[in-house]
Amino acid sequence: MNASVVVFPGSNCDRDVLYALGKIAGIPAVPVWHKDPVLPEDTDLVVLPGGFSYGDYLRCGAMAARSPIIQAVREHARRGGLVLGICNGFQVLTEAGLLPGALLANSNLEFICSPCLLKVERSDTPFTNAYPEGTLVQFPIAHHEGLYFLPERELQKLEDNRQVVFRYAAADGSAGAQHSPNGSLNGIAGIVNSSGNVLGLMPHPERASEKLLGGTDGLGMWYSIKSWLEGGAR
Amino acid sequence: MKFRARILVSLKEGVLDTQGKAVLVSLKNLGFDVVEEVRIGKSIEIVLSAGSAEEAEKKVESMCEALLVNPLIETGRVSLEAIG
């Protein structure tokens, strides 16, 4: 079981993810430079970490999505390999066409850095099988472009396909647009592709993986991935 | 031949333009009550060489498709001038 964490110029959560995977969850993880045309041969999971790849120039994630490594990530995803995009990584996945939609500027025009409650809408994915469906978790968000947008008809299709995995929520368990800190449509914080092996989310599970840093709700994602790759969760 | 292409990238109608909204409020606060709507886009200038205007336009269109415009949320309008 091996993970590759792609490093773009401007990535700044790559080390946090490497630490969470390798040191906390026990999934061996190596950094991979964005100019590499191939992934390490034994890669099971690819993580596109958060940050400001290419300074967010043109559109967030636009340039990173055209990096040499992305062709290899696309191929990995096509073969059914796991791909996880966090924050800027989510933006890169939408720009690369590996996930539907786009992330627009937050509706309040502010950079939001804050803990956030999320409802786990699906526990049958490789990334969330350790959480019972409906679990509330707290991950921090830190972004300026996190408003998930998709035209209405496609948004309905996304909901009908049950592709929404994380939704912004409140302590009473309600979830939806009214709890979006960033104006995200339908309260969407994270989605999967139709085959379920590519997940993107704006909140940061790697920043909720150690008590010292304020919480461990993110651990469930690493353990989900681990047991999925070990074959136990299928 | 050399050409200068200008690509005007605008957010599609129906896509929330938070910048435009904020600027609208500021303009109103400055007393410009006549303002009804503000949409903010960006302008990209590219100097390129091509055999003809048609060829230049085709090239720029493919640049829009490959990188410059995200068709889900944006539209791009290309204009071209020969500069020698």
CA B6 to chain A, closest CA, distance in angstroms equals 15
| For chain A, domain boundaries | 3-230
Instruction: Express as a percent the part of chain A with pLDDT over 90.
Output: 97
Instruction: Express as a percent the part of chain A with pLDDT over 70.
Output: 99
Element holding B62 (H helix, E strand)? helix B53-63
Known catalytic residue: A204?
A: yes
With CB atoms and an 8 Å threshold, state whether A107 touches B18.
yes
Q: Which amino acid makes up residue A16?
A: D
- Tally of domains within chain B: 1
Query: Range of B72's domain?
Result: 2-82
pLDDT class for A214, splitting at 50, 70, 90? Answer: confident
pLDDT class for B6, splitting at 50, 70, 90? Answer: very high
Nearest C-alpha in A relative to B18 = A107
pLDDT class for B84, splitting at 50, 70, 90? Answer: confident
Q: For position A233, what pLDDT does the model report?
A: 57
HEC letters along A141-158: EEECCCEEECCHHHHHHH
Please determine, looking at this structure, whether the domain spanning A3-230 carries the CATH number 3.40.50.880: yes
What mean pLDDT do residues A60-73 have?
97
Pairing of strands A112-120, A136-143: antiparallel
* C-beta separation of A164 from A199 below 8 A: no
Please give the structure tokens belonging to residue A174: 């309600």
Q: For position A109, what pLDDT does the model report?
A: 87
Residue B44's CATH number: 3.30.1280.10
